[in-house]
């Protein structure tokens, strides 16, 4: 299952590592009912961003994160030491519940095989597109698209802010990039925003963000309550989504104007 690449002519790349639902049958059969339900999906993320930045490049994987988490360190080192999180090949949900049948979780050899087969091609595609964009414009902006349930006690206390901006504490992008995103969020007083809170940016943001070299990376983690129903069957809420899309469109427009 190859990553899906939709090249654009602008300086912006939208990365979508967690919106896929596909699980190879051989792996699907080893999951328990919890795993097969695939609750920990960035539901409807492609639909939410569709058409908001006409000249943007999109790179996404059709695979579900339970097969491989394309936003994790390929060596499986924790991005958030000391905090609850999931691994490169997750064996639990975001609620800390096991997703595999007894004795069916992948061993170290299988994790390495999945990383080479599924994780690496996604990042090869990202790297190729960022190089192409930078050659064309002299710089590239990677915007990593994410969403999660607004309440996940295993991962964080209370309710998550609506917009969670991650710049690896300012290391992955020029300050103007983070300001551009923050200012767009500030135009929406009914939404809450935090920068570098619980989500500071995953491996994608940290790995590719090299502002001194002209590649800027920033992550947006959205609270799913603002565009969908946060329970099965995870329905898209058109009214809520349209309101949110106005703000997301402003964010993306601000980004492409930063270096004008």
Least confident of 165-174, 181-190, 231-240: 181-190
Which pTM was predicted? 0.97
Please check the confidence at residue 85 and state whether its pLDDT lies above 90.
no
What's the rounded mean pLDDT across residues 218-228? 98
The predicted structure's pLDDT at residue 13: 98
Q: What SS3 state is found at 50? A: coil
Measured between alpha carbons, how far is 177 from 168 in angstroms, rounded to an integer? 13
Domains and CATH numbers, the chain: 4-257 (3.40.630.40)
Q: Are 76 and 87 in contact (CB under 8 A)?
A: yes
Please check the confidence at residue 36 and state whether its pLDDT lies above 90.
yes
Measured between alpha carbons, how far is 20 from 81 in angstroms, rounded to an integer? 27
Please check the confidence at residue 189 and state whether its pLDDT lies above 90.
no
Tokens of 257: 């104007």
User: What 8-state DSSP symbol labels residue 117?
Assistant: I
Instruction: Tell me the pLDDT band of 78, cut-offs 50, 70 and 90.
Output: confident
Measured between alpha carbons, how far is 248 from 143 in angstroms, rounded to an integer? 11
Please check the confidence at residue 192 and state whether its pLDDT lies above 90.
yes
Tokens of 28: 């699907």
What's the rounded mean pLDDT across residues 231-237? 97
């Amino acid at each position: 299952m190859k990553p899906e690449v939709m090249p654009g002519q602008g300086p912006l790349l939208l990365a979508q590592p967690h919106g896929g639902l596909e699980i190879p049958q051989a792996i699907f059969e080893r999951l328990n009912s919890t795993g097969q339900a695939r609750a920990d999906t960035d539901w409807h993320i492609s639909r939410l961003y569709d058409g908001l930045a006409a000249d943007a490049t999109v790179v996404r994987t059709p695979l579900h994160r339970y097969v491989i988490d394309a936003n994790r360190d390929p060596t499986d080192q924790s991005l958030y030491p000391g905090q609850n999180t999931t691994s490169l090949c997750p064996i639990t949900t975001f609620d800390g519940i096991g997703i595999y049948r007894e004795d069916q979780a992948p061993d170290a050899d299988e994790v390495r095989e999945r990383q080479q087969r599924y994780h690496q091609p996604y990042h090869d595609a990202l790297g190729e597109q960022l190089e192409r964009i930078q050659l064309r414009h002299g710089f590239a902006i990677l915007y990593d698209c994410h969403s999660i349930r607004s309440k996940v006690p295993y991962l964080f206390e209370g309710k998550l802010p609506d917009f969670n901006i991650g710049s690896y504490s300012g290391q992955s992008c020029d300050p103007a990039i983070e300001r551009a995103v923050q200012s767009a969020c500030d135009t929406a007083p009914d939404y809450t925003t935090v920068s570098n809170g619980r989500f500071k940016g995953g491996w994608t943001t940290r790995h590719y963000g090299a502002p001194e070299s002209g590649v800027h990376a920033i992550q947006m983690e959205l609270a799913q309550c603002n565009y969908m129903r946060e329970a099965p069957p995870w329905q898209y809420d058109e009214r809520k989504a349209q309101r949110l899309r106005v703000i997301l469109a402003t964010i993306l427009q601000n980004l492409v104007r930063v270096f004008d």
